[in-house]
Amino acid sequence: MATSLLLSPQPLAFSKFSVPTKNVAVSSQRATRFVAKAKNNDENKDDKGFTPFSFVTDNPSSRSAIQLPESPAEDGNVGQMLYRIEDKGKDYGSYVKSGKLRWFVRETGSPESRRGTVVFLHGAPTQSYSYRVVMSQMSDAGFHCFAPDWIGFGFSDKPQPGYGFDYTEEEFHEELDKLLDVLEVKSPFFLVVQGFLVGSYGLTWALKNPDKISKLSILNTPLTVSSPIPGLFQKLRIPLFGEFTSQNAVMAERFIEAGSAYVLKLEKADVYRLPYLASSGPGFALLEAARKINFRDISSQIADGFSSGRWDKPVLIAWGMADKYLPQSIAEEFRKQNPNSVELKLIEGAGHMPQEDWPEKVVDALRMFF
């Protein structure tokens, strides 16, 4: 299987037989203009113009991943970078076999925890690593917590489409049911969902299984048909360009930072980058899932399914106010559809992933609600 490459600029050596001096000068001038243009684009944060290089030119963390250090030999090749970070990010996690697939599942607390079980579901293109701090603090408060990496994401299996898993909503639901049985999660339990695509599938799973859920908490997730679709998922649906986009090793960290007011620390960015750097599998899994989903249809199902008269379980929306993908109005509109069951808690200072930006505030909200 092909390996996703994270490219570092390398000095070029020209022999007298290779490239004429005039062409080298022209290339140097073009490179200078390109660097100046990238710098101008970075300084202009309001410029929404399309650029295929946006993932690696618009934020400090992603740029640092490909910058040439003062001593190039210290940086190493892709294999050396993988060796440096391959053991990172598996906090509280282990591999769980469910049917023919192997899930990576994080677990804190124990089945005897007095306050019940919480299942955390992440969105695309991220992984359960985002819940590590929340899970740790929730177990300290007496909860038993599980957070799986969805199939195709993080450290879970990434089967090739057409060979046992096709990345459809129905298949994600079926495999989640099997996993919950293997984990012996007793119903009803508390469910926490966040994010796009597989995050939305977590909510449609809840609509199909209301008897399995005691209370539901939703972090920033598309909830209405007016929910915008981020540019990443639009790019993935473009033939050929989607394939190119899916193999960008800094895609996940770039997506997180673009939806937040913060830049990830390098050690966190390493973990989100690792699956996409180690293999082409995660990128092609995301590509397949993004092309199979009908975003508007799923959002419509969620808005209708959780409206008054159709859903009566308690729901807490813990919403990061600084989300650059989903405005606060999405959460407010959703709450108006079922004000008797839905409670809205705004988290100031947090962006699209409140569990990563400000986990302590998320824990406070969840403890009060559960």
- pLDDT per residue, tens digit, the chain (370 aa), is 444 444 344 443 333 333 344 443 434 444 444 444 444 444 444 444 444 444 433 444 444 444 333 433 344 455 555 555 566 889 999 999 999 999 999 999 999 888 999 999 999 999 999 999 999 999 999 999 999 999 999 999 999 988 889 999 999 999 999 999 999 999 999 999 999 999 999 999 999 999 999 999 999 999 999 999 999 999 999 999 999 999 998 999 999 999 998 899 988 999 999 999 888 999 999 999 999 999 999 999 999 999 998 999 999 999 999 999 999 999 999 999 999 999 999 999 999 999 999 999 999 999 999 9
The CATH code of domain 98-229+293-369 reads 3.40.50.1820
At residue 369, φ and ψ (nearest 5 deg) are: -75, -45
Count of Cβ atoms closer than 10 Å to residue 84 Cβ: 12
Q: What share of the chain is helix, strand, coil (3-state, %, to 5)?
A: 45, 15, 40
Distance of alpha carbon 199 from its chain centroid, rounded?
9
Which two three-digit tokens encode residue 298? 């799923």
